[in-house]
Amino acid sequence: MARTINDIVIAGAGQAGARAAEALRARGFKGSITMIGDEPHPPYERPQLSKAMLQSADVPVAYIKQAQDWNEALDIRIQTGSAAIDGDADRRIVSTADGRRFPFDALLLATGTRPRRLPALDDTQLEVQYLRNVEDALRFRRHIRARSRTVIVGGGVIGLEAACAAAKGGCHVTVIENEARLLARAFPIVISDLVADRHRNHGVTFVFGATVTGSSARSVTLSNGAEIAADLVLIGIGVCPSSDLASRLGLPVADGIAVDACGRTAAPGIFCAGDAALQWSRCHGRAIRVETWANAQNQAIAVAANMIGETRDYSDPPWFWTDQYDLNIQVAGDMRDAEHIARGDPDSGRFSIIAMRGTELVGALSVNAAKDLAMLRRIIAANAKPQRADLESPDYDLRTALRAP
């Protein structure tokens, strides 16, 4: 017998939690909705923290809605400033760090991630920061205005977007990357080289194959013996799922909170969406966490429908983008362990790279070719199988692949 759903609690007041709450009301749910978040702000989308907010000294935070709009227009209660840290799956209750308790008929875990720390700089006199919330972005923006000597640890997307903003703002920027190239986990080498060259043209220095092992009051020491002067160190070496609440609820947690295609966890009535969700990816051939804006939004909307009795599988291929200088780079699906096919001329500054395993198109990347990538995303999602010769031709209309029998 189906459980009656009157009270829904959303643990996490970020993008996934907010979009799920909106979707519940849009689909006609009339019961109570309580969204619990640790930050003092109403929900906002995180891409702005390393993009728009760093590119200008006066860009304000763009909130999904103001607090009063959640309360008055949607009748959604937002409890900010204290995270949900404990719960009982059998008694169907969660509690916050400040002692408040919230009963639920259905619970959505939208707890997101937290930055992976760099222990070598935990007890340093240097100013060290991460880039995970509004306060972090505002703080880094002040350093850009001051033209601080900036060391960025980690040559991934977040670190490079921060490096781009700092370099354009006149800072002396050094990026430390322990791999042999940038973006090694998700990008082919031709893109790594293109991005590195663009940064070097704007004065950014790179140190590859090294890690930070220590520091002084005005510098960091590297594993290769080098010492880099710094006023600020920004650490961007990835994130970990915020799964403590899931553990307290008795859910299995291993690099994320495991869910099925409907967002259901192992406990009845408890769902998960967003960065913390460990979900199956056909493109990758395994379960992964998808740390993207699109997933936080679209998976949350689908899972919200399932929370109130619908059955709506979510299987969108992962997709993200990064803007650095004059480069707009978008990636869909999985680019690793695949045969790469070029579409267009890389020397032209506008091209795509398509990843195939056998006859299956599993990934695509575009540089300043957003229209191509939009179609390639649809082809991946439809599991269509266009011919390689067609994909290699810039004259081939990608829409044809979706019309093929």
**Domain harbouring 349, CATH code:** 3.30.390.30
**pLDDT of 405 above 80:** no
Residue 71: its pLDDT value, please? 92
Contact predicate 207/226, CB 8 Å: yes
Residue 316 lies in a domain: no
Domain for residue 317, yes or no?
A: no
> Do 230 and 251 share a domain, yes or no?
no
Q: Domain for residue 315, yes or no?
A: no
Which of 49, 43, 47 is closest to 66 using CA atoms?
43
Same domain, 80 and 98: yes
Does 156 share its domain with 302?
Answer: no
- Same domain for 183 and 253? no
Residue pair 171/147 in contact by the 8 Å Cβ criterion: yes
Asked if residue 56 is part of any domain, the answer here is yes
Same domain, 99 and 124: no
Distance (Å, whole) CA 55 – CA 57: 7
Enumerate residues 6+ apart whose C-beta is below 8 A from 225: none
The residue from 183, 212, 235 where one domain ends is 235
Whether 100 and 23 map to the same domain: the answer is: yes
Is the model's pLDDT at 58 over the cut of 60? yes
Q: Pairing between strand 32-36 and 7-11?
A: parallel
Structural domain of 201: 119-235
Say yes or no to pLDDT of 57 above 90: no
Tell whether 183 and 264 lie within a shared domain: no
- For residue 256, is it left (φ>0), alpha (ψ between -120 and 50) or beta? left
Q: What is the number of structural domains in the chain?
A: 3
Q: Is the per-residue pLDDT at 220 higher than 90?
A: yes
Task: Please give the backbone phi and psi of residue 298, each rounded to the nearest 5 degrees, phi first.
Answer: -75, -40
If asked whether residues 231 and 255 sit together in one domain, one would say: no
| Cα 393 off chain centre by | 32
**Closest alpha carbon to 15 in 35, 29, 1:** 35
Query: Does the pLDDT value for residue 317 go beyond 60?
Result: yes
Q: Is residue 32 part of a domain?
A: yes
- Exposure on the CB side of residue 141, measured as CA atoms within 13 A: 20
The pLDDT value given to residue 404: 61
User: Residue 124's domain is classified under what CATH number?
Assistant: 3.50.50.60
Distance, in Å, from the CA atom of 89 to the CA atom of 184, rounded to the nearest integer, reads: 40
Strand pairing partners for 235? 153
Taking CA atoms, 293 is separated from 15, 111, 229, 273, 300, in Å, by: 8, 14, 34, 12, 11
- Give the pLDDT confidence score for residue 1 in this predicted structure: 38
- Percent with pLDDT over 70 in the chain: 99
Closest residue by Cα to residue 248 from 239, 240, 257, 260: 257
End-to-end Cα separation, the chain, in angstroms: 42
Q: Mean pLDDT, to the nearest integer, of 149-176?
A: 97
Residue 398 pLDDT grade (very low, low, confident, very high; cuts 50, 70, 90): very high
Give yes or no: residues 102 and 135 share one domain: no
Is residue 312 within 8 Å of 258, Cβ to Cβ?
Answer: no
- What is the rounded CA–CA span in Å between residue 91 and residue 220? 50
> Do both 82 and 129 map to the same domain?
no
Residue 318 lies in a domain: no
Among candidate residues 364, 264, 275, the one with its CA nearest the CA of residue 309: 264
The yes-or-no verdict on residue 2 having pLDDT over 70 is: no
Model pTM score? 0.95
What's the whole-number average pLDDT of the chain? 95
